[in-house]
């Protein structure tokens, strides 16, 4: 036995859906050469991360070993796979490999951040490969919901590992490469040590449906519509955008793409040759002049995002275009769990305008980009790996996927973020636990999720805030009375007097009672003022607010 | 024609699902005698109402006319129908009428608030009636997901109005009265002026399913389980709780009810004779001693509520009971839109414990309490009202329900909260718009939704908070330097110096530049300090924080 080992370590994406970042390593323990597969983001929400702009995986472990990092491989251009490449470029520094379309998107991000675009290298599809340290990596085309998605065939001295990437089995995806069973059989031929595999739809027992199956329903809908037709979908689903645009064209409508992400994605697809034919479009300026019954808009904002085109149209107007009674709005998308409130709000706003909304409940106008259970089994059988390691899923998905592999006669290993597996071992198991977590982009600054910053914001949102101000002279005697300001708290409570006055009265009494020892000690005085302010508010309005205590001491 | 009119005015529940409150009136315009049907609450969320405890309809309009209010009628004991009776008792003062089970729940609320329980009067079922001013109101049993739900037959000099209440058509509901077509035919016989009708499931095109259809699947699941079985459902769904308990009993398990709401509801059902047979239960103290394979818990928290039994069990322990590998957890409930994040969190926590979770995706273990589209049509046809006025729905539901009525040859009228209709008119239309809204219970205080309190909290959650403190002497000269404290903001930014120091430096420069005019004017000085603090933070960390500016002026 050699003393080298083949390790797998998810830093993000295993135990959650989002911010994918998977490390592979080969070498002597603690000296492995490393590669990183994907470097994505996840999106904040009001419940757990108010005010945050983006969420990244904490890559400190990898940064501490950056001299051993031989390359970053991006499977496809979804934000949860490519979104952090530019933000982390300086901290990791390794070359970034991706196929043409994905590289195009990655370079746009690099450029926006003032990083060198040439750090992103375009890779050809399998059988071409990229060598990075002891790894030889091939981008094997696999169908998903964005062009040029790839699984990775990662050859190592300990055998071949397959990283499925996000995938579905679709033999007619409209745009891009169909799933090619023969190709994957060829990849599997030498034997697969381990397969790290997408788990998103493991609970869905239905047969997967092809992207192309949607066209008739979409065409039927658009051709039957009377007023303006507006459709939204994920901007990156180029095949869907094309299907929608073609449906518009066939119905004799001018097609207009609205929203920055939508235009960017189509532009990238055209630039990289992924999209060869696309109906002629008009720009929003010209679209305004076209009679509504001859117009079709394809817009961003399928998840109810506040600033996107869909939300703006629902509120009345976007780029000079308004919707009204008799128009139709199609969600050619599903609502990602957690986004329901935003989407439902838009639907109700359209309802108030008299717009007919066709949502995703019929499943006729959207298919998922991920493999359902039967297709997972199909890939398991095709690859017959030594071990299946589920990724791209919450804990429930990973656990179910291990069970699925076991039921199918394969070994499975559950590894959440921070779990390092030895993939090459006879019985692949955990060799180490690594500290992982989340980093927030907050304004222009990166902060740790556990730094307490967001926790303080949540507390202010739940409890409101009181500022208490006291001034003492050089003998530690109070100069005047304590003074309060409130924010996010009821102005009057139980006693019907202004809350601020009640607080000031109670704080004033406390100052009167406090002895010289307390008045002379900033910490003790602050603690006392905080306790009194919170208790006084609790009595008066039933809430214990967050506090900022300002103690000023005047010197002669 | 008489100059009297019959009005309908929703103050809550029309244009939303929650906080139902519907006013009916009869008399000369502006002098109508009034009744109120239902007085419910809705629940806050972090996105729009952080820190709020409960949400009520704004009843100011009704309070201003309380001397004309002859009674409050509660259709059933769900919180969105009965939840505000105690909170608003003093502001409305009218007698509250409900059937025995609903009255039992309402009295518990009155008692908790120290209000007289006798204000709640128990009404018999139709053909018994209650007279309130010009109205004669009958509680007509109708099937729903809680015992003794009733539609109301409201007789007025302008004819009979039917208020459906929340309903489904279930001829075998397990506990309580089956839907009785003959009874409703009898109600319809004299002719129905208007029907105000539940709209919740108008988009669901499937046949409704009976509560009793679930028993075999639930029994199969429980009898096949190996470890402990825990099931959650809505505590108020007494029939479901009974079905679950019976499944446990048949599988030879001891049954334990956990969570206050669960025990309260069963207690109320037993006290009022609604529940005649219920399996013997053990208390949590004894349950701990029972082998897990012989135990079944029925618990609160199906919506992922943080403090309920389900969430506590998922976090490790509740009342001495822990779950572990091999146990099963059943959601015999659906996730209400907006609650997905909380529910998914619990499912993942159970997954980490090795507990098998059976969620609502298969639809085998839960049925809705509301009428689907075919059953709505059935009630329309049974009642053949002069006009259908949809209620209990968001705008999209109300609009669709009007269309459904129209397609079925009936007149429909869309009236959201604040829209007063004249139901007796030849063509029922809008006669007035009334200002409505929401009132928050925040701690122990009621505040208006538009008072700005919650808005300030949301802003602090999104932007963080800075306190700026300056002290000036009696000549308006600054005493020392400005002083800052931050909350919910990154401690360092672009320049790598502490944010507080950067802010203080910029504020200090501002004070130095500010002329005597600004220094002497609190408003101008505050405005300047605020502007500088926000701009300085924006430069440094990319965020514009909320601010509290404290200016202290020392006098001799």
Encoding tokens for residue A516? 């010289």
Q: What is the mean pLDDT of chain A?
A: 96
- Asked if A453 and B490 come within 8 Å (Cβ–Cβ), the reply is yes
> Does the CB of A352 have a partner CB in chain B at under 8 Å?
yes
Among B305, B331, B343, CA closest to A394:
B343
Measured in angstroms, the CA of B457 and the nearest CA of chain A are apart by 4
Residue A2: what pLDDT? 55
Among A409, A2, A386, A381, CA closest to A193:
A386
Residue B361: what pLDDT? 83
Distance from chain centroid for Cα A220: 33
Give pLDDT tens digits for A357-382. 999 888 899 999 999 999 999 999 99
- The answer to whether residues A347 and A358 touch, using CB atoms and an 8 Å cutoff, is no
Give pLDDT tens digits for A416-467. 999 999 999 888 889 999 999 999 999 999 999 999 999 999 999 999 999 9
Is the pLDDT at A231 greater than 70, yes or no?
yes
- Asked if B488 and A456 come within 8 Å (Cβ–Cβ), the reply is yes
Chosen for mutation from A443, A498, A554 (greatest number of chain B CBs closer than 10 Å) is A443
Among A86, A136, A138, A145, CA closest to A116:
A86
Please give the average per-residue pLDDT across A98-111, as a whole number: 98
In the DSSP assignment, the letter for residue A410 is -
Report, at the CATH architecture level, how domain B464-553 is classified.
Roll (3.10)
Residues 6+ apart with CB under 8 A from A391: A10, A13, A14, A20, A22, A196, A197, A198, A199, A398
User: Residue A337's closest chain B neighbor by CA?
Assistant: B340
Hey, which bits of B392-453 come out as E strands? 393-394, 419-422, 430-433, 438-442, 445-448
Is the pLDDT at A48 greater than 50, yes or no?
yes
Is the pLDDT at B556 greater than 60, yes or no?
no
Instruction: Tell which phi-psi region holds residue A140, choosing left (phi > 0), alpha (psi between -120 and 50) or beta.
Output: beta
Is the pLDDT at A384 greater than 60, yes or no?
yes
Question: d(Cα B537, Cα B465) in Å, to the nearest integer?
Answer: 10
Instruction: Tell which phi-psi region holds residue B18, choosing left (phi > 0), alpha (psi between -120 and 50) or beta.
Output: left
Q: Which long-range contacts (CB under 8 A, 24 or more apart) does A473-479 make?
A: A473/A553, A473/A554, A474/A553, A474/A554, A474/A555, A474/A556, A476/A516, A476/A519, A476/A520, A476/A553, A477/A519, A478/A511, A478/A519, A479/A554, A479/B554
B492 contact residues in A (CB cutoff 8 A): 445
Question: d(Cα A178, Cα A149) in Å, to the nearest integer?
Answer: 11
Residue B362: what pLDDT? 82
Q: Where are the alpha helices (DSSP H) in B315-359?
A: 340-353
Q: What is the enclosing helix (H) or strand (E) of B185?
A: helix B181-188
Residue B1: what pLDDT? 47
> What does the angle CA B532 – CA B536 – CA B539 come to, to the nearest 5 degrees?
145
> Does the CB of A552 have a partner CB in chain B at under 8 Å?
yes
Question: d(Cα B384, Cα B195) in Å, to the nearest integer?
Answer: 9
Please give the average per-residue pLDDT across B464-492, as a whole number: 95
- Asked if B550 and A467 come within 8 Å (Cβ–Cβ), the reply is yes
In the DSSP assignment, the letter for residue B178 is P
Among candidates A15, A340, A471 on the partner chain, residue whose Cβ is nearest the Cβ of B471: A471
The residues in B 9-38 lying below 8 A from A, measured between CB atoms, are 15
The residues facing B477 across adjacent strands are: none
> Does the CB of A336 have a partner CB in chain B at under 8 Å?
no
Burial class (CB in 10 A: 0-12, 13-18, 19+), B360: middle
Residue A320: what pLDDT? 93
Q: What is the mean pLDDT of chain B?
A: 96
Question: Helix, strand or coil for residue A388?
Answer: strand
Backbone angles phi, psi at A426, to 5 degrees: -55, -50
Question: d(Cα B26, Cα B322) in Å, to the nearest integer?
Answer: 58
Question: Helix, strand or coil for residue B262?
Answer: helix
Please give the average per-residue pLDDT across A110-132, as a whole number: 97
Measured in angstroms, the CA of B347 and the nearest CA of chain A are apart by 7
The residues in A 117-136 lying below 8 A from B, measured between CB atoms, are none
Give pLDDT tens digits for B93-144. 999 999 999 999 999 999 999 999 999 999 999 999 999 999 999 999 999 9
Is the pLDDT at B270 greater than 70, yes or no?
yes
CATH topology of domain A211-358: Rossmann fold (3.40.50)
- Asked if B463 and A341 come within 8 Å (Cβ–Cβ), the reply is no
Question: Helix, strand or coil for residue B309?
Answer: helix
> Does the CB of A363 have a partner CB in chain B at under 8 Å?
no
Residue with tokens 């964005």: A146
Question: Helix, strand or coil for residue B462?
Answer: helix
Question: d(Cα B273, Cα B219) in Å, to the nearest integer?
Answer: 25
The ranges assigned to domains in chain B are 5-206+368-448, 211-358, 464-553
Please give the average per-residue pLDDT across A237-262, as a whole number: 96
Position B427 confidence tier, pLDDT thresholds 50, 70, 90: confident
Among candidates A338, A347, A469 on the partner chain, residue whose Cβ is nearest the Cβ of B552: A469
Is the pLDDT at B7 greater than 70, yes or no?
yes
Position A159 confidence tier, pLDDT thresholds 50, 70, 90: very high
Chosen for mutation from B339, B343, B347, B552 (greatest number of chain A CBs closer than 10 Å) is B552
Encoding tokens for residue B223? 């009898």
Among candidates A340, A352, A399 on the partner chain, residue whose Cβ is nearest the Cβ of B395: A352
Could you tell me the CA-to-CA distances from B293 to A426, B143, B218, B252 in Å, in that order?
36, 35, 17, 9
Residues 6+ apart with CB under 8 A from B106: B74, B77, B82, B85, B86, B96, B98, B120
Question: Helix, strand or coil for residue B330?
Answer: strand
Q: Where are the alpha helices (DSSP H) in A85-179?
A: 89-92, 100-112
Question: d(Cα B451, Cα B441) in Å, to the nearest integer?
Answer: 13
In the DSSP assignment, the letter for residue A293 is G
The residues in B 252-291 lying below 8 A from A, measured between CB atoms, are none
Encoding tokens for residue B6? 């019959």
Residue A360: what pLDDT? 81
Among B360, B330, B50, CA closest to A457:
B50
Among candidates A396, A456, A489 on the partner chain, residue whose Cβ is nearest the Cβ of B351: A396
Give pLDDT tens digits for A12-39. 999 999 999 999 999 999 999 999 999 9
Please give the average per-residue pLDDT across A87-114, as a whole number: 97
Handedness of CA B317, B319, B324, B328 (dihedral sign): negative
Is the pLDDT at B197 greater than 60, yes or no?
yes
> Does the CB of A495 have a partner CB in chain B at under 8 Å?
no
Pairing relationship of beta strands B295-299 and B229-232 according to DSSP bridges: parallel
Give pLDDT tens digits for A278-303. 999 999 999 999 999 999 999 999 99
Q: How many residues does chain B have?
A: 556
The residues in B 424-453 lying below 8 A from A, measured between CB atoms, are 442-445, 447, 451, 453
Question: d(Cα B420, Cα B387) in Å, to the nearest integer?
Answer: 14
pTM metric for this prediction: 0.95
> What does the angle CA A264 – CA A268 – CA A272 come to, to the nearest 5 degrees?
175
Q: How many helices (H) and strands (E) does chain B have?
A: 17, 27
CATH topology of domain B5-206+368-448: Metallo-beta-lactamase; Chain A (3.60.15)
User: Residue B472's closest chain A neighbor by CA?
Assistant: A554
Q: How many CB atoms lie under 10 A from the CB of residue A474?
A: 9
B462 contact residues in A (CB cutoff 8 A): 50-51, 457
At what angle are helices A499-513 and A522-541 packed, to 10 degrees? 140
Give pLDDT tens digits for B277-323. 999 999 999 999 999 999 999 999 999 999 999 999 999 899 999 99
Question: d(Cα B38, Cα B83) in Å, to the nearest integer?
Answer: 9
């Amino acid at each position: 036995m050699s003393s080298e080992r083949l390790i797998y370590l998810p830093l993000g994406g295993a135990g959650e859906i989002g911010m994918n970042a998977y490390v592979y390593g080969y070498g002597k323990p603690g000296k492995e050469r490393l590669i990183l597969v994907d470097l994505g983001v996840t999106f904040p929400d009001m419940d757990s991360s108010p005010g945050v702009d983006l969420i990244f995986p904490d890559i400190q472990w990898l940064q501490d070993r950056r001299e051993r990092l031989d390359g970053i491989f991006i499977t496809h251009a979804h934000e949860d796979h490519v979104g952090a490449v530019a933000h982390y470029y300086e901290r990791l520094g390794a070359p970034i490999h991706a196929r043409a379309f994905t590289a195009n998107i990655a370079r746009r991000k690099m450029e926006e951040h003032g990083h060198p675009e040439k750090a992103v290298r375009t890779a050809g599809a399998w059988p071409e490969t990229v060598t990075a340290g002891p790894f030889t990596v091939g981008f094997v085309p696999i169908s998903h919901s964005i062009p040029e998605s790839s699984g990775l065939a990662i050859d190592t001295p300990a055998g071949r590992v397959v990283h499925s990437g996000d995938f579905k089995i679709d033999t007619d995806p409209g745009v891009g490469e169909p799933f090619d069973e023969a190709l994957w059989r060829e990849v599997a031929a030498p034997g697969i040590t381990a397969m790290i595999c997408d788990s998103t739809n493991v609970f869905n027992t239905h047969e997967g449906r092809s992207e192309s199956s949607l066209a008739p329903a979409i065409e039927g809908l658009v051709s039957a519509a009377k007023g303006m037709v507006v459709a939204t979908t994920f901007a990156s689903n180029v095949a869907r955008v094309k299907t929608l645009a073609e449906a518009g064209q066939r119905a004799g409508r001018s097609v207009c793409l609205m929203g920055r992400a939508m235009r960017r994605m189509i532009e990238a697809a055209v630039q990289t040759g992924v999209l060869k034919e696309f109906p002629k479009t008009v720009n929003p300026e010209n679209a305004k002049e076209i009679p509504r019954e001859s117009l079709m808009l394809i817009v961003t904002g399928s998840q109810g995002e506040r600033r996107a085109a869909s939300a703006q149209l629902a509120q009345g107007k976007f780029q000079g275009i308004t919707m009204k009674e008799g128009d139709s709005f199609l969600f050619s998308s599903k609502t990602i769990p957690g986004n329901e409130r935003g989407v439902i709000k838009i639907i109700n706003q359209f309802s108030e305008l008299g717009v007919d909304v066709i949502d995703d409940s019929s499943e006729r106008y959207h298919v998922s980009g991920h493999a359902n259970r039967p297709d997972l089994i199909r890939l398991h059988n095709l690859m017959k790996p030594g071990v299946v390691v589920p990724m791209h899923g919450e804990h429930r998905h990973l656990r179910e996927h291990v069970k699925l592999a076991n039921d199918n006669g394969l070994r499975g290993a559950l590894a959440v973020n921070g779990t390092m597996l030895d993939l090459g071992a006879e019985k692949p198991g955990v060799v180490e636990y690594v500290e992982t977590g989340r980093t927030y982009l907050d304004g222009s600054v990166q902060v740790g999720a556990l730094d307490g910053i967001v926790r303080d914001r949540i507390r202010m949102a739940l409890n409101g805030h009181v500022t208490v101000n006291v001034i003492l002279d050089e003998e530690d005697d109070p100069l005047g009375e304590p003074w309060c300001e409130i924010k996010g708290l009821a102005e009057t409570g139980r006693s019907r007097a202004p809350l601020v006055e009640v607080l000031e009265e109670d704080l004033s009494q406390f100052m009167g009672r406090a002895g010289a020892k307390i008045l002379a000690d900033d910490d003790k005085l602050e603690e006392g003022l905080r306790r009194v302010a919170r208790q006084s508010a609790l009595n008066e309005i039933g809430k214990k607010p967050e506090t900022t205590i300002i103690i000023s001491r005047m010197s002669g």
